[in-house]
Amino acid sequence: MMRAVDEALMALVKGRNRDPFAVLGPHPAPSGEGTVIRAFQPAARSIDVRLADGELRRMARRSPAGLHETVVAADVSHYRLRVTYPGDHVLEFDDPYRYGRVLTDFDLHLLGEGTHYRAFEKLGAHRIRVGSTTGVHFAVWAPNADRVSVIGDFNGWDGRVNAMRLLSPSGVWETFIPDLPDGEKYKFEIRTGQGALLEKSDPYGFAFEAPPHFSAIVRDISGYRWRDERWMAARKSHHGWLDEPLTIYEVHLGSWARVPEEGNRFLTYGEMAHRLVPYVKDLGFTHIELLPVMEHPFSGSWGYQVLGFFAPTSRFGPPEDFKLFVDACHEAGLGVLLDWVPGHFPKDDHGLARFDGTALYEHADPRQGEHRDWGTLIFNYGRNEVRNFLLSNALFWLEEYHIDGLRVDAVASMLYLDYSRNAGEWIPNRFGGRENLEAIGFLQELNRLTHGQFEGTITAAEESTAWPGVSRPVHLGGLGFTYKWNMGWMHDVLEYVHTDPIHRRWEHNLVTFSALYMHTENFILPFSHDEVVHGKGAMLDKMPGDVWQKLATLRTLYGYMYGHPGKKLLFMGGEFGQWREWNHDRSLDWHLLADPAHGALRRFVQDLNWHYRAQPALHQADFQPGGFRWIDCNDNENSVVSIVRHARDRDDFVVMVFNFTPVARDGYRIGVPAAGSYAELLNSDSALYGGSNVGNAGGVQSEPIAANGFDQSLRLTVPPLGCLLLKRQ
> Helix H segments across 27-95?
none
> Helix H segments across 14-132?
105-113
The pLDDT assigned to 11 comes to 81
| Nearest alpha carbon to residue 566 among 241, 342, 292 | 241
Confidence band (pLDDT; 50, 70, 90) for 211?
Answer: confident
Secondary structure class of 47 (helix, strand, coil): strand
Whether 343 and 491 share a structural domain: yes
pLDDT tens digits, 117-142 = 999 999 999 999 998 899 999 999 99
Which residues, including other chains, have CB under 8 Å from residue 278's CB and lie 6 or more apart? 332
Residue 155 located in a structural domain: yes
What's the rounded Cα separation, in Å, for the pair 549 and 504? Answer: 15
What's the rounded Cα separation, in Å, for the pair 361 and 355? Answer: 7
Please give the residue range of the domain that contains residue 271.
241-348+391-615
The pLDDT assigned to 4 comes to 61
pTM of the model: 0.95
Residue 130 located in a structural domain: yes
Residue 366 located in a structural domain: no
The pLDDT assigned to 207 comes to 97
The pLDDT assigned to 66 comes to 87
Residue 545 located in a structural domain: yes
| Nearest alpha carbon to residue 638 among 658, 609, 611 | 658
pLDDT tens digits, 163-203 = 999 998 999 999 999 999 999 999 999 999 999 999 999 99
Residue 100 located in a structural domain: no
Whether 188 and 89 share a structural domain: no
User: Tell me, what DSSP letter sits at residue 164?
Assistant: P
- Residue 387 φ then ψ, to 5°: -60, -40
Find the CATH number of the domain harbouring 111. 2.60.40.10
Whether 118 and 261 share a structural domain: no
Q: Prior bond to 28 cis, omega within 30?
A: no
pLDDT tens digits, 599-610 = 999 999 999 999
Q: How many CB atoms lie within 10 A of CB 333?
A: 12
- Residue 9 reports pLDDT greater than 80: no
Whether 246 and 134 share a structural domain: no
| Contact of 672 with 714, CB cutoff 8 Å | yes
The pLDDT assigned to 39 comes to 93
pLDDT tens digits, 353-368 = 999 999 999 999 999 9
Find the CATH number of the domain harbouring 294. 3.20.20.80
Range 453-480 average pLDDT:
96
- Which of 581, 615, 649 is the last residue before a domain boundary? 615
Whether 135 and 279 share a structural domain: no
pLDDT tens digits, 663-682 = 999 999 999 999 999 999 99
Confidence band (pLDDT; 50, 70, 90) for 312?
Answer: very high
- Residue 345 reports pLDDT greater than 90: yes
Number of H helices, E strands in the chain: 14, 38
**Start-to-end Cα distance in the chain:** 95
Whether 441 and 483 share a structural domain: yes
What's the rounded Cα separation, in Å, for the pair 208 and 202? Answer: 9
- Residue 105 reports pLDDT greater than 70: yes
CA angle 121, 126, 131 (to 5 degrees): 105
Whether 21 and 168 share a structural domain: no
Catalytic residues: 409, 462
Mean pLDDT of the chain: 95
The pLDDT assigned to 1 comes to 45
The pLDDT assigned to 2 comes to 53
Q: Which range, of 69-78, 421-430, 698-707, averages the lowest pLDDT?
A: 69-78
Q: Which range, of 33-42, 292-301, 691-700, averages the lowest pLDDT?
A: 33-42
- Which of 50, 77, 95 is the last residue before a domain boundary? 95
Q: Which range, of 6-20, 57-71, 146-160, 534-548, averages the lowest pLDDT?
A: 6-20
Residue 378 located in a structural domain: no
Whether 443 and 498 share a structural domain: yes
Whether 601 and 680 share a structural domain: no
Range 386-390 average pLDDT:
97
What's the rounded Cα separation, in Å, for the pair 72 and 53? Answer: 13
| Contact of 321 with 232, CB cutoff 8 Å | no
Would you say the C-alpha torsion 225, 231, 233, 236 has a positive or negative sign? negative
Which long-range contacts (C-beta less than 8 Å, at least 24 apart) are formed by 508-514? Answer: 508/636, 508/639, 511/560, 511/633, 511/641, 511/660, 512/630, 512/633, 512/641, 513/488, 514/486, 514/488, 514/489, 514/564
Whether 273 and 171 share a structural domain: no
The pLDDT assigned to 691 comes to 97
Residue 236 located in a structural domain: no
| Contact of 554 with 690, CB cutoff 8 Å | no
Residue 491 located in a structural domain: yes
Whether 408 and 438 share a structural domain: yes
Whether 555 and 675 share a structural domain: no
- Residue 702 reports pLDDT greater than 60: yes
Find the CATH number of the domain harbouring 630. 2.60.40.1180
- Which of 615, 637, 656 is the last residue before a domain boundary? 615
- Residue 729 reports pLDDT greater than 60: yes
- Residue 275 reports pLDDT greater than 80: yes
Secondary structure class of 175 (helix, strand, coil): strand
Amino acid letter for position 511 = V
The pLDDT assigned to 168 comes to 87
Domain count for the chain, please give it. Answer: 4
pLDDT tens digits, 404-414 = 999 999 999 99
Q: Which range, of 7-11, 419-423, 678-682, averages the lowest pLDDT?
A: 7-11
Share above pLDDT 70 across residues of the chain, in percent, rounded to a whole number? 99
